[in-house]
Chains A and B, each alone.
Chain A
Amino acid sequence: MLGFNKFLDWFSEIADHWDTKGVKFTLYTTIAVVIGGLFELIPPFFLTKTVTPISTVKPYSALELAGRDTYQKEGCIGCHTQMVRPFKWEVDRFDPTKAYGRTGYSKGGEYVYDHPFLWGSKRTGPDLAHESQMLRSDEWHKNHLINPRTVGGVPNSIMPAYPWLFEESHKVDVEQVVSNMKALKAIGVPYTEEDFANAPSLLKDKTEGEALVAYLQKLGKDSAELQKGMK
């Protein structure tokens, strides 16, 4: 312990000089902070193995993207996670049909087109990463969103009701969605000119609620298909 004490003495003595030099002090502080930051942020970008692309995972369609925007807008992330951890109890709960087999936890490759990621940090409601595999109908989702506590929904749910999402006044803004897709293309999501051209017909007369349902039905679908194909 004597060596450590000497080290502390030495360090506090030199550090004592720094606090008479404002600029130098600020510089050293910044360096101390930057080291950890760089170490954590930079390497993952160069490690290709970090995210193995999953061939079947496709970018969100115009309607699904509009639904994802709605998901963000309503703050669904506050109560729902989108990341299944590699535990039996989580896999069993969030993939009861065993569409993924035993490895039904979340993989990095499932999220390659997620700007931003929506894993969330609080699971007040169930995880939604593989919601499509719960095999609920669009109609169920619609009723559940309009009022989670009605017949067919979940009587004791504490989820807020979202009746406005299906109102006429909440039609999807087609132009906005197309410009959203173009912005995403600029940062690497492989949308094509054809996707932009098809968007208006996909979105025609759709409400934000219908888009949200489409998004929920897309979650986990692509990677589940890959699993099924491998069987």
Chain B
Amino acid sequence: MATEKTQYDDFIVKGFIISALVWGVASMTFGVIIAFQLVYPQLNFELPWTSFGRLRPLHTNAAIFGFALSVIFATAYHTVQRLCRTRMWNDTLSKIHLALYNLTIVLAAITLPLGYSQSKEYAELEWPIDLLIVVWYVIFFANYLMTVIKRKEEQMYVAIWFYIASFVTVPLLFIVNNIVIPAGFLKSYSVYAGVFDANIQWWYGHNAVAFVLTTPFLGLMYYYLPKHIKQPIYSHRLSIIHFWSLIFIYIWAGPHHLLYSPIPEWLQTTGMVFSIMLWMPSWGGMLNGFLTLTQAKDKIKVDATLKMMLAAVTFYGMSTFEGPLLSIRAVSALGHNTDWIIGHVHSGTLGWVGFMSAAALYYLVPRLWNANLYSEKLANAHFWLGTLGILLYIISMWVSGITEGSMWRAVGENGELVYKDWVEIVEFLKPFRLFRAIGGTLYLTGIVLMVYNFIKTIQNKDSGFVEQDLRIGVKS
């Protein structure tokens, strides 16, 4: 009889965890570099491959598709096997996926600094790399779906719903937005032009936020949070309602990126209305997370992983409140194109995605390598450095963004612009942008501590893992 250990393929989970750590550190390091470049332009070094314009897409691609996707795949492989009580359908396909996926990120890390870019945000990679992505995606998705189909557990747990929704939507967005006409081996043009291209790009761009940075992480929350505290999810019905409304509404929200642009008025209004409606399902997910967490509330003080989950859910609630707010026309008029948006995005990515990822990794690494976490204290330090970093980041960006927007629109009594000189505004924002860079550095430091903690843990592998019981009333 197969034992629990040989039943599941954990090699693939470990592979993606290591990818996540490598690309996580890389993407955030680039983030910190470009943040400092916006204060000290000398840091561009007057070299093509170190200038801001080329490193910025490298930062976003490595963070979204290197770090976040690695976490998504690691947790998808881990959860689907357990929730379906079956091994992956085909281990070889999993390994090919891991290899080709990492090859893609390496190719991205080479081509983007060399200036090969489609210039569509989060879809910068040139067409041969896009084709490679389609190849490994099909391999992965077939493997995932077959595993779900041959499952031994009749009911599909809510975590699987969120993963499936993500995995069917992402290729749809990716393929439609990336239809290009090649003009050479690494050069292509979007087949759509102008206004249409903008509409499709932001339909994709916003839903990359929805179906890469939100739904998989909700799925991950629905698995690891109840598992970690050994308590059921607060409300199954709330899961159903917020799942279906979230995936139905999210896809409409794209045009809120194009308010006051030449896209049709009705489209802008639709985008705005659906963005506001999105607030409800988002908070449905947040509340389900929160109320589940309260079942272990007296352990929040002692467990860093739990703290991270709590902070992650809080930042999720905060940035999904801010999102609908920013999609209201009048607010968009002030905030659009400013640092405020950068702050909003980072409260979601650093707070929600980053902390939820870290929590999942703190859960997974000791279990997979069968060793207790090297240091709970370091994990705690990671939490506080990360939290402080995020707060510095988003507060300075709020101040900077709102200042920036107000200075742009300031008109004197005679109807003339008060701040005609653009650089005057740039100068004024420098201190806030410096604080942002410092906040990012603190966050990166936290991540480095986590990696060190994991290396030390992995060095003790097979020393035996003892699970903590976090239930209320159980002494730890």
Chain A interface (Cβ within 8 Å of chain B)?
8, 11-12, 15-16, 19-20, 22-23, 25-26, 29-30, 32-37, 39-41, 43-45, 47, 50-51, 69, 72-79, 81, 83, 85-90, 92-93, 106-108, 110-126, 148-149, 154-164, 176, 179-180, 182-184, 186-188
Judged by a CB distance under 8 angstroms, whether B118 is at the interface is yes
Of the residues A22, A112, A118, contact of B119 by C-beta under 8 Å: A118
Of the residues A36, A111, A188, contact of B248 by C-beta under 8 Å: A36
Asked if residues B409 and A89 are in contact (CB atoms below 8 Å), the reply is yes
Residues of A contacting B244 with CB < 8 Å? 11, 15, 32
Judged by a CB distance under 8 angstroms, whether B233 is at the interface is no
Judged by a CB distance under 8 angstroms, whether B264 is at the interface is yes
Q: Which residues of B (135-179) have their CB < 8 Å from a CB of A?
A: 145, 148-149, 151, 154-158, 160-161, 164-165, 168-169, 172-173, 176
Report Cα–Cα, A160/B55, bound state, in Å.
12
Can you name 8 A-B pairs with beta carbons within 8 Å?
A35-B251, A37-B176, A40-B251, A72-B117, A74-B53, A156-B427, A160-B37, A161-B41
Report Cα–Cα, A111/B254, bound state, in Å.
20
Report Cα–Cα, A77/B165, bound state, in Å.
31
Judged by a CB distance under 8 angstroms, whether B44 is at the interface is yes
Asked if residues A26 and B168 are in contact (CB atoms below 8 Å), the reply is yes
Judged by a CB distance under 8 angstroms, whether B198 is at the interface is yes
With contacts A41-B200, A50-B263, A115-B190 known, what are 20 further pairs, Cβ within 8 A? A12-B237, A22-B145, A32-B244, A33-B247, A37-B172, A40-B199, A44-B264, A50-B264, A51-B194, A72-B119, A75-B54, A81-B337, A107-B262, A116-B118, A116-B192, A117-B194, A124-B426, A160-B46, A160-B52, A179-B183
Residues of B contacting A25 with CB < 8 Å? 156, 161, 164
Report Cα–Cα, A26/B162, bound state, in Å.
10
Asked if residues B48 and A164 are in contact (CB atoms below 8 Å), the reply is yes
Asked if residues A23 and B149 are in contact (CB atoms below 8 Å), the reply is yes
Residues of B contacting A39 with CB < 8 Å? 252, 270
How many whole Å from A29's CB to the nearest CB in chain B? Answer: 5
Residues of B contacting A113 with CB < 8 Å? 193-194
Residues of A contacting B196 with CB < 8 Å? 44-45, 51
- Contact A114/B197 with A20-B154, A74-B53 known, Cβ cut-off 8 Å: yes
Asked if residues B120 and A116 are in contact (CB atoms below 8 Å), the reply is yes
Asked if residues A111 and B203 are in contact (CB atoms below 8 Å), the reply is no
- Contact A36/B251 with A26-B145, A183-B182 known, Cβ cut-off 8 Å: yes
Judged by a CB distance under 8 angstroms, whether B291 is at the interface is no
Asked if residues B193 and A111 are in contact (CB atoms below 8 Å), the reply is yes
Asked if residues A183 and B189 are in contact (CB atoms below 8 Å), the reply is yes
Report Cα–Cα, A17/B472, bound state, in Å.
33
Interface residues on B, range: 35 or more
Interface membership of chain B positions 20-53, coded 1 if the CB is closer than 8 angstroms to chain A and 0 otherwise: 0000000000000000011101001011100111
Asked if residues A44 and B195 are in contact (CB atoms below 8 Å), the reply is yes
Asked if residues A40 and B46 are in contact (CB atoms below 8 Å), the reply is no
Interface membership of chain B positions 324-351, coded 1 if the CB is closer than 8 angstroms to chain A and 0 otherwise: 0000000001001110011000000000
Asked if residues B251 and A33 are in contact (CB atoms below 8 Å), the reply is yes
Report Cα–Cα, A81/B337, bound state, in Å.
8
Judged by a CB distance under 8 angstroms, whether B7 is at the interface is no
Asked if residues A8 and B195 are in contact (CB atoms below 8 Å), the reply is no
- Contact A160/B156 with A44-B263, A119-B198, A180-B183 known, Cβ cut-off 8 Å: no
Q: Which residues of B (92-130) have their CB < 8 Å from a CB of A?
A: 115-121
Report Cα–Cα, A110/B152, bound state, in Å.
58
Of the residues A22, A33, A92, A159, contact of B156 by C-beta under 8 Å: A22
Asked if residues A160 and B191 are in contact (CB atoms below 8 Å), the reply is no
Residues of A contacting B1 with CB < 8 Å? none
Asked if residues B189 and A8 are in contact (CB atoms below 8 Å), the reply is no
Judged by a CB distance under 8 angstroms, whether B201 is at the interface is yes
Report Cα–Cα, A198/B445, bound state, in Å.
55
Asked if residues B426 and A12 are in contact (CB atoms below 8 Å), the reply is no
How many whole Å from B39's CB to the nearest CB in chain A? Answer: 7
Asked if residues B53 and A75 are in contact (CB atoms below 8 Å), the reply is yes
Judged by a CB distance under 8 angstroms, whether B261 is at the interface is yes
Asked if residues B194 and A114 are in contact (CB atoms below 8 Å), the reply is yes
Total residue contacts A-B, CB cutoff 8 A: 267
Judged by a CB distance under 8 angstroms, whether B473 is at the interface is no
Report Cα–Cα, A25/B148, bound state, in Å.
11
Query: Is chain B's binding surface mostly helix, strand, loop or mixed?
Result: helix
Judged by a CB distance under 8 angstroms, whether B302 is at the interface is no
Of the residues A74, A92, A148, contact of B417 by C-beta under 8 Å: A92
Of the residues A35, A93, A117, A126, contact of B201 by C-beta under 8 Å: A117
Asked if residues A79 and B337 are in contact (CB atoms below 8 Å), the reply is no
Asked if residues B411 and A88 are in contact (CB atoms below 8 Å), the reply is yes
Residues of B contacting A45 with CB < 8 Å? 196
Residues of A contacting B430 with CB < 8 Å? 158
Judged by a CB distance under 8 angstroms, whether B57 is at the interface is yes
Can you name the residue of chain A whose Cβ is closest to the Cβ of B50? A160
Asked if residues A111 and B195 are in contact (CB atoms below 8 Å), the reply is yes
Asked if residues B237 and A188 are in contact (CB atoms below 8 Å), the reply is no
Of the residues B156, B194, B241, B252, contact of A40 by C-beta under 8 Å: B252
Report Cα–Cα, A3/B51, bound state, in Å.
59
Of the residues B117, B148, B197, contact of A73 by C-beta under 8 Å: B117
Residues of B contacting A159 with CB < 8 Å? 41
Judged by a CB distance under 8 angstroms, whether B56 is at the interface is yes
- Contact A74/B195 with A19-B156, A89-B409, A93-B420 known, Cβ cut-off 8 Å: no
How many whole Å from A100's CB to the nearest CB in chain B? Answer: 14
- Per CB-CB distance, the 7 closest pairs between chain A and chain B, nearest first, are A75-B53, A111-B194, A183-B183, A36-B251, A108-B262, A116-B190, A160-B44
Can you name the residue of chain A whose Cβ is closest to the Cβ of B259? A85
Asked if residues B117 and A93 are in contact (CB atoms below 8 Å), the reply is no
Judged by a CB distance under 8 angstroms, whether B285 is at the interface is no
Asked if residues A12 and B240 are in contact (CB atoms below 8 Å), the reply is yes
Report Cα–Cα, A180/B190, bound state, in Å.
12
Of the residues B52, B184, B189, B194, contact of A184 by C-beta under 8 Å: B189
- Contact A30/B168 with A75-B53, A85-B260, A116-B189 known, Cβ cut-off 8 Å: yes
Asked if residues B193 and A188 are in contact (CB atoms below 8 Å), the reply is yes
How many whole Å from B72's CB to the nearest CB in chain A? Answer: 17
How many whole Å from B166's CB to the nearest CB in chain A? Answer: 10
Asked if residues A121 and B53 are in contact (CB atoms below 8 Å), the reply is no
Asked if residues B187 and A117 are in contact (CB atoms below 8 Å), the reply is no
Judged by a CB distance under 8 angstroms, whether B388 is at the interface is no
